[in-house]
């Protein structure tokens, strides 16, 4: 059973695998052991590249925020930040087809089926292109009737004049990125996410240079949005050209390679991911709303600031575990089920080691850290910090398991679990917030997650791991 293992031995094995995996030369994939080592190597490279990309992104933000704030002023800067936040809302616009494409490519890779990969890539590209065109057409039709100054609550004449062109520039770049994102899904599906992160670094640098140029020539808000969003888009275009010209020339999207069956498969898997993403987003989005409605708007600040401290840990963990998603799918397609079981154990252990001690330290010293960071106005209670620490550990372990479930197409189970978690947690948050105050919100989350995610996962996982050999042929057809 997956839960019977030697802790010290597993820890040493995780350390050894991590050390051996950090190398540029690929392993021989003609054997099962070689493929196992190559998966770990690609996971390690992707994690390192992701960390570098994240650091560059943070440094870019630290440079651009004061520059643009001083250049635009408070009101126009607020418009820019509001437009930037729309990326999260529009992340659902592909209807989950990006994730569907990732899963189908990793499956085709595991089966060494080039033709299937060709069909999936071409079908996915033209479907995403159609979605992008629909978004552009819908925006063109609706734009004249949307009072953007009122939407952004703008008072100055200059900001009112620039709001419309700025949102148009953003929508154009966003629509362009939808079909361009196909190459990133290919790289992730083939466990080469480190290439995606390299181009992400390049895109951030392009964006920074564009912002500096716009400020130098005194360009307007629309040009600033175009530069900041266009930098990553330009990097994606370069990634697209290099990938389909040199690295994956056989995968270049062609209309004749797009098939109805491939498109239906991508859409089917993608819609399940879309629903799952929506349920997860709704589950996690209610904290601030409950705080504002039950305890007042000032409670949102008291809750969100300490939560921001703990949110650093999931960001770090995601860099390591996210590359496992396509690796699980490829391993399942090859029938290498032992690797899946061992990797799940190791990833859970590594996740726990990464988050447990930092969470404990934040629980014990979080109050002092917050006071140094933002001042004594924010004073989280020990009960609130303890809840956030426990929730951080639970959330990261759950995300680690989710990488396995995503990779082997167990999506409906996650949707069911996330739906019950979201509903129960919302009820518990409201009830406990009235009794316990601010800490009741996080403890309501823990109660809902324990009842409808932790317990179901503990029951379901042993059964899944013992029957993967039976699911190998079924999983591609049902989720």
Question: Residue 20 above 70 pLDDT?
Answer: no
What's the pLDDT at 325? 93
By CB atoms closer than 10 A (0-12, 13-18, 19+), residue 6 is: exposed
Q: What is the DSSP letter of 27?
A: P
Average pLDDT of span 261-269: 93
Q: Write out pLDDT tens, residues 177-195.
A: 999 999 999 999 999 999 9
How long is the chain? 479
418 with 279: CB under 8 angstroms?
Answer: yes
439 with 381: CB under 8 angstroms?
Answer: yes
| Structure tokens that stand for 226 in this block | 């175009």
What's the pLDDT at 415? 93
What's the pLDDT at 321? 92
Q: In which element (H, E) is residue 360 found?
A: helix 337-374
Closest residue by Cα to residue 399 from 342, 470, 318, 456: 318
Average pLDDT of span 424-431: 93
Distance CA 352, CA 354 (A): 5
Q: How far is CA 131 from CA 86, 89, 125, 187, 220, in A?
A: 17, 15, 10, 21, 29
What's the pLDDT at 351? 94
Average pLDDT of span 436-444: 93
Q: Is the dihedral of CA 284, 351, 26, 469 positive or negative?
A: negative
**Confidence tier at 115 by pLDDT (50, 70, 90):** very high
Distance CA 395, CA 23 (A): 31
pTM of the model: 0.84
What's the pLDDT at 476? 46
**Confidence tier at 475 by pLDDT (50, 70, 90):** very low
What's the pLDDT at 1? 41
Q: Write out pLDDT tens, residues 52-104.
A: 988 888 888 778 877 887 877 877 877 777 777 676 666 677 888 999 999 99
Distance CA 323, CA 164 (A): 39
Distance CA 95, CA 258 (A): 18
345 with 5: CB under 8 angstroms?
Answer: yes
Q: Cβ contacts of residue 425 below 8 Å, gap of 6+? A: 283, 286, 444, 445, 447, 448, 449
Distance CA 211, CA 228 (A): 6
125 with 261: CB under 8 angstroms?
Answer: no
Q: Write out pLDDT tens, residues 145-179.
A: 888 888 777 778 887 888 888 889 989 998 999 99
Q: How far is CA 300 from CA 80, 124, 286, 395, in A?
A: 23, 40, 11, 21
445 with 391: CB under 8 angstroms?
Answer: yes
Closest residue by Cα to residue 34 from 13, 49, 20: 20
Distance CA 117, CA 123 (A): 10
Distance CA 37, CA 430 (A): 48
212 with 268: CB under 8 angstroms?
Answer: no
**Confidence tier at 472 by pLDDT (50, 70, 90):** low
Specify the residue for token string 């010209």. Answer: 245
**Confidence tier at 356 by pLDDT (50, 70, 90):** very high
Collapsing DSSP to helix, strand or coil, 443 comes out as helix
Q: How far is CA 191 from CA 278, 322, 411, 466, in A?
A: 26, 10, 21, 25
């Amino acid at each position: 059973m997956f839960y019977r293992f030697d802790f010290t031995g597993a820890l040493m094995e995780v350390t050894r695998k991590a050390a051996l995996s950090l190398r540029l030369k690929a392993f021989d994939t003609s054997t099962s052991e070689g493929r196992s080592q190559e998966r770990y190597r690609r996971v390690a490279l992707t994690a390192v590249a992701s960390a570098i990309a994240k650091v560059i992104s943070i440094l870019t933000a630290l440079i651009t925020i004061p520059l643009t704030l001083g250049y635009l002023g408070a009101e126009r800067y607020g418009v820019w930040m509001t437009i930037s936040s729309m990326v999260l809302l529009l992340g659902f616009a592909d209807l989950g087809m990006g994730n569907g494409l990732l899963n189908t490519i990793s499956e085709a890779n595991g089966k060494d089926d080039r033709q299937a990969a060709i069909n999936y890539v071409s079908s996915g590209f033209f479907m995403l292109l159609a979605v992008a065109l629909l978004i552009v057409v819908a925006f063109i039709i609706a734009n004249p009737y949307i009072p953007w100054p009122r939407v952004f609550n703008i008072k100055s004449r200059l900001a009112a004049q620039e709001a419309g062109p700025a949102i148009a520039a953003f929508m154009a770049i966003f629509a362009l990125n939808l079909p361009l994102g196909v190459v990133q899904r290919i790289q992730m599906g083939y466990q080469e996410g480190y290439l995606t992160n390299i181009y992400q670094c390049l895109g951030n640098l392009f964006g920074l240079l564009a912002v500096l140029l716009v400020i130098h020539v005194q360009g307007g808000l629309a040009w600033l949005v175009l530069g900041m969003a266009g930098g990553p888009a330009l990097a994606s275009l370069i990634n697209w050209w290099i990938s389909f010209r040199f690295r994956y020339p056989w995968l270049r999207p062609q209309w004749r390679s797009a098939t109805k069956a491939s498109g239906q498969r991508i859409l089917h898997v993608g819609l399940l991911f879309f629903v799952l993403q929506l349920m997860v987003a709704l589950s996690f989005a209610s904290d601030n709303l409950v705080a504002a409605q039950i305890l007042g708007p000032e409670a949102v600040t008291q809750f969100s600031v300490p939560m921001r401290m703990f949110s650093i840990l999931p960001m770090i963990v995601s860099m390591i575990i996210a590359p496992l998603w396509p690796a699980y799918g490829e391993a399942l397609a090859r029938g290498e089920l032992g690797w899946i079981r061992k990797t799940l154990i190791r990833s859970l252990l590594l996740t726990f080691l990464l988050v447990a001690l930092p969470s404990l330290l934040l629980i014990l010293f979080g109050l002092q850290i917050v006071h140094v960071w933002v001042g004594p106005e924010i004073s989280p209670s020990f009960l609130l910090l303890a809840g956030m620490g426990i929730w951080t550990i639970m959330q990261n372990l759950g995300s680690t398991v989710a990488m396995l479930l995503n990779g082997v197409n167990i999506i409906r189970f996650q949707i069911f679990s996330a739906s019950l978690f979201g509903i129960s947690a919302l009820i518990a948050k409201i009830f406990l917030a009235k009794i316990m105050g601010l800490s009741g919100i996080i403890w309501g989350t823990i109660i809902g997650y324990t009842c409808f995610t932790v317990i179901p996962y503990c029951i379901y996982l042993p059964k899944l791991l013992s029957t993967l050999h039976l699911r190998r042929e079924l999983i591609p057809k049902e989720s």
